[in-house]
Structure 1
Amino acid sequence: MSDVAVMSPEWAQAYRHLWNGSAEIRQGAKDLTMLIEWRVQDADDQVAQLEIADGEAIYGGSQIEGRKPDFVLTATSNVWHRVAEGEIGVASAIATRKIKFVGPIKVAMANMAVLSAGLRLVGQVDGLVWGD
């Protein structure tokens, strides 16, 4: 497997398969339809989107032209790495702005369990290079 930069379009394609392979995440997100944008702070080439429809990840890749994401999550690669390892909790990372979060916070808080489970998958992509 070749190197895959975290939050790159290639990462998003692989992450989509991990998302769909998790019964816990798909069940927890079954009522959610949204477009999520993931960013590595200060790395313009590390931006990816994941589209969820009724809990299923139907798209993972580069930014979709003309579509505004429902949620944007931005952090340094080091913070993404620490969140994926469980060293930093998702709610804490958002509350302390280690993860800069743009979107309806009430929706995120109401779905914190699935958001946390999804963020733990971030580091499970084969060939992942953190860059931190």
Structure 2
Amino acid sequence: MNTVQFLSVEWAETYRELWNATPTTRDGTKELDMLIEWRVPDGRAAQIDIKQGEAVYGGAPLPERKPDFILTATTAVWKKVATGEISAGNAIMTRKIKFVGPVKVAMSHMPALSRGLTLAGEVDGLEWDN
């Protein structure tokens, strides 16, 4: 099995497929269009573009588009959220995940977005550290 580095283009492409195959994420965001950017402090980032619940893009940040949501955390925090050691809501409220974007939208779709954050760890061959 090949390894896939967290937030790499390969990770984002596979994550997009997982998002689309997960009813909680698709159905829970079916009225949303949003570009989500995941970041780690070392500068790595990936984007997921959601159109009416479907992830239509997963890959490197798109320079021509400003993300609607920016989520920044250390790799260790992302891993804890992905494995369920801490909840996505708790990580955001305690600023372990720095969140930029419309809070009301995120809160009203928290079950889908929380599931989306745990999907991060379900990418086959995931390697959390460099």
Q: TM-score range, shorter-chain basis?
A: over 0.9
Contact 1:9 1:47 in 2 (8 A): no
Which residue of the partner structure matches residue 5 of structure 2?
Answer: 5
Kindly indicate whether the alpha-carbon contact (under 8 Å) linking 1:39 and 1:75 is maintained by their aligned counterparts in 2: yes
Q: CA deviation at 1:80?
A: 0.4
Between Structure 1 and Structure 2, how many residues are aligned? 130
| Structure 2 residue runs without a partner (length 5+) | none
Post-superposition shift, 1:24? 2.0
Give the aligned residue type for 2:104.
K
- TM-score of the aligned structures, taking structure 1 as reference length: 0.94
Q: CA RMSD for the aligned pairs?
A: 1.1
Secondary structure of the 2:50 match is strand
- The structure 1 segments of at least 4 consecutive aligned residues displaced by more than 2 Å after TM superposition are none
CA distance in 1, matches of 2:77, 2:109: 21
Conserved? CA contact 2:24–2:111, under 8 Å: no
Gaps of 5+ in 1: none
Q: Secondary structure at the match of 1:121?
A: helix
Q: Hey, what's the Cα distance between the residues in 2 that align with 1:109 and 1:28?
A: 12
For 2:93 and 2:70, locate their aligned partners in 1 and report how far apart those are by CA, in whole Å: 15
Distance 2:53 2:4 in 1: 25
Counterpart in 1 of 2:105?
107
